[in-house]
Structure 1
């Protein structure tokens, strides 16, 4: 039952100018994006990270470096082509206001499952390879580090929306209902029963609550015993949804 923290890259010069960057080289964070990525890193400071995986695009690698700059125990970064930006083909490098006049724009908005970019890939292909990559890494990280492992994947807006849609059981045609801002954080926990979306498009708040619970200890106070009982119950039903909403994550360090 590993947990993946999905981070979109910070704002880029292309984002700021309203250009679809796609896979063009040389697209970097602007000053706002640099600050956004650093703030996201502050949110991760208290989370023990088992692994970090990044899209190979420069803006994602730059964001990853800023995320981990002050982390007390940052793992080595792995590059993953499966979560790289969508190949927008002939659309990349063009202004969004110009693209909005193309007939394909409406298809992308209303029926993305059948949208294919000229000279690029389809959105269905994009979704399939991104979801497969995330699930593959998640299974490998859980196998290597245990069910409490937490890891980070740094990627792109449409990629993260597709991964969230899959976790929510949404058809790809509905994924435009999701929103993923630059440097926002979304969280998914995969289990044998189903994925759980713990956060989506979040911008603030310490994520220390995602840290695995402490190892079991001997008998202590009645309050500690009650907490242990609650933890035992949670572990017994770890893959199940808590009827009534559950008690939430432990607040103790």
Structure 2
């Protein structure tokens, strides 16, 4: 199967003010977020991409454009509601410091699988549709471009955390142990037997090592087995 780079959108005006943006319209990257997205684009500039999919939220579409800026081989930006922000219902648009006083806040922190936002969706529903969307898109690109295909999904913090938790085999109740910063990049390879998490919440480093080997330097046939002892790493 293919490999997905999970990119969280850059910092927004809502992030900076401590507001839960949710699905409110008009939430855009601030100046810091624009710079963060540009740096993330530099990190993947050498990666041959087979596709890019974005959440429909404006901040993600802004980030997606920044990731592809200046690329001659830029893929078309597709959008997928499956990786849209969690529907926080009546919570969206409210200050986080105010929400932290709500009884539901402790459920979200300690037992997220039981958390459902008033007028919105549950975190379990959010994870289910996000994981399904990522795996479905990954399978399509694998079929179209082959198992060495690399693609990008631009989404949101809780969405990416839930997808990483699934790939790590973690119960949703443990997903708050995962941290995903604005404009950070995480990487999952979906193998035949299991997903392999290659990176989480990274902020620096060229990711061109994700490219498949050239014909002159062919890699050993990819195995779905985990290498005992850790293996030789990419490019060997």
Give TM-score scaled by structure 2 length.
Answer: 0.98
Indicate the SS of the match to 2:78. Answer: strand
Partner of 2:60: 60
Is the 8 Å Cα contact of residues 83 and 155 (structure 1) preserved in structure 2? yes
Partner of 1:193: 193
Q: Which runs of 5+ in 1 are unaligned?
A: 218-226
1:97-108 equivalent positions in 2, closer than 5 A = 97-108=97-108
Residues 122-176 of structure 1: CA deviation (Å, up to 9, x unaligned): 0000000000000000000000000100000000000000000000000000000
Matched, 1:9 2:12: no
Is the 8 Å Cα contact of residues 3 and 151 (structure 1) preserved in structure 2? yes
Structure 1 window deviating more from structure 2 (193-202 vs 70-79): it is: 70-79
Task: Tell me how many residue pairs correspond in the alignment.
Answer: 236
CA RMSD across the alignment: 1.0
Name the CA distance, whole Å, in 2 between partners of 1:63 and 1:93: 21
Name the CA distance, whole Å, in 2 between partners of 1:102 and 1:74: 44
Partner of 1:206: 206
Q: 2:225 aligns with which of 232, 237, 240?
A: 240
1:213-252 equivalent positions in 2, closer than 5 A = 213-215=213-215, 217=216, 231-232=219-220, 235=221, 238-250=223-235
Name the CA distance, whole Å, in 1 between partners of 2:159 and 2:35: 22
Indicate the SS of the match to 2:60. Answer: helix
Indicate the SS of the match to 1:170. Answer: coil
Indicate the SS of the match to 1:106. Answer: helix
Partner of 1:75: 75
